[in-house]
Amino acid sequence: MPFSTNTLVVILLVLMLIVTLDAFLLRRKLRKIMRYKTGNLGDSIVSLDKDVKSLEHFQNESEKYFESVEKRLRRSVQGLHTVRFNAFKGTGEGGNQSFASALIDENGDGVIVSSMYSRDRVSIFSKPIAHFSSQYELSEEEGEALERARDKVSA
C-alpha cells in the first residue's frame, strides 16, 4: 500500500524535527565539553585531565590529613569524670571539696588527678593511667572516676 504524498511529507518533517532536536542536544553537550580555553576539543581534554589530576592530588592530601587528625583524636582526652567527696567525713572538716578527676584517651591512657581538702591544707596527687588501670593503688573515688570516664569513652 503506497503512502500518499501528504503522509510522506509529514513523516519526513517528523524525522527532520527529530534529527534537528538531536543535533541541537549534541551541540549543547559539545559546548559543555569544550567550555575550556579556545574551544578546541584537544585543549578541553588536556584541561579536564589536569583538573582530574588536581582533584586526585587533593584527595590524597585530604586522606593523609584525616589520617593524622584521627591519630591525634585517639590520643586526645575522650573520657573525663570528676567525683567530689569529703576526705575527712568523721572529723567534720573539708566538706565535699576533695575530688578525683580521671582524664583518659581512647586507649585508656591518661591521668587521675585528685585532691584532698581540709581547712588547714590541700594535697594534690596524680597517678598515671595505662590501658584503664594504674600501677599505683587507686582510692575508691579514683576508681569510680576512672570507671565513669571509661564508660564515656565506650559510649
Q: Report pLDDT digits (tens) over 99-129.
A: 999 999 999 999 999 998 877 888 999 999 9
Whether residue 119 lies inside any domain: the answer is: yes
Please list the alpha-helical segments (H only) found in the chain: 5-33, 41-75, 140-154
57 occurs within a structural domain: no
Q: Is 64 part of a structural domain of the chain? A: no
Decide if pLDDT at 36 tops 80.
no
Q: Is residue 134 part of a domain?
A: yes
Number of domains comprising the chain: 1
83 domain-assigned:
yes
With respect to residue 65, please indicate whether it lies within any of the assigned structural domains.
Answer: no
pLDDT 10s digits, 47-93 = 888 999 999 999 999 999 999 999 888 889 999 999 999 887 766 66
Query: Considering the entire predicted model, what is its pTM?
Result: 0.60
Distance from C-alpha of 39 to C-alpha of 35, rounded to nearest angstrom: 6
| In a domain? residue 94 | yes
Q: pLDDT at residue 31 above 80?
A: no
* Nearest in space to 102 (alpha carbons), one of 148, 136, 64, 40: 148
Q: Which three cell numbers stand for residue 121?
A: 591544707
CA–CA dist 13, 125 (Å, integer):
94
Q: Which domain holds residue 88?
A: 79-154
CA dist., res. 128 & res. 124, Å (int): 14
